[in-house]
Amino acid sequence: MFRVLLFSVIFAITSQAYAADEKIVLAGGCFWGMEAVYRHVNGVKEVMPGYAGGEASTAHYEMVGTGKTGHAEAVEVIYDPAQINLEQILKIYFLAAHNPTELNYQTPDHGTQYRSAIFYSDEEQKKAAQDMIGKLTNNKAFSKPIVTTLEPLKQFYPAEEYHRNYAALNPYSPYIIMYDKPRVQNVKQYFPELYRDK
């Protein structure tokens, strides 16, 4: 009886801890770099590269690469709101993870699959994103208009296994060195209180 009670208490505590986690889906160019950025942020528990904006039948790398599926390369960021809040997640997104003024491209990657987009799952996320865009616009944080789209999240589809943790597993790739490592350095430079090495 004691074992059953103990298991129930442990399960309840674990369930509450897991339920406390929050997540948001963000797109900002190649998902390798976006994933690398958030893997270096304190309070982020998991980052999954994948696809959002299209249908399940086209959520495959080769098909998404055509730019005709409606999908964007994106990441699902799971975080502990006791350690980092949504506003901080969004500040990193807009000010370190990518350039939100580039329409349908980031650095050398072009096409709607590389668009700047926030896939919100509820009105709270949508409003937080709208407020952040408003603040950055009013403060003239960028010399050009922010083109980030706010799109309701229908479904997030995890990417193929070989895309996961790609930057960490391929640190000497010229693409990673040239385009993704600078994103991580942005976090370290602009958000040192939120940065972690590993």
Buried b (16+ CB within 10 A) or exposed e, 21-58: ebbbbbbbbbbbbbbbbbbbbebbeebbbbbbbbeeeb
Structure confidence by residue, pLDDT tens digits, 51-66: 999 999 999 999 999 9
Mean pLDDT estimate for the chain = 92
pLDDT at position 198:
76
Nearest 10 degrees: Cα torsion 88, 64, 105, 89: 0
Q: Active-site positions? A: 30
Six token digits for residue 2? 């004691």
pLDDT at 115: 98
Residue 90 in tokens: 């969004």
pLDDT for the residue 11: 39
Q: Residue ranges of the domains in the chain? A: 21-190
CATH, domain 21-190, list 3.30.1060.10, 3.40.50.720, 3.40.50.300, 1.10.3720.10 = 3.30.1060.10
Share of the chain above pLDDT 70, in %: 90
CB contact at 8 A, 152 and 119 = yes
Distance of CA 182 to the CA centre of its chain: 16
Would you say residue 7 has pLDDT above 90?
no
Q: What is the arithmetic mean of pLDDT over 94-99?
A: 98
| pTM of the model as a whole | 0.89
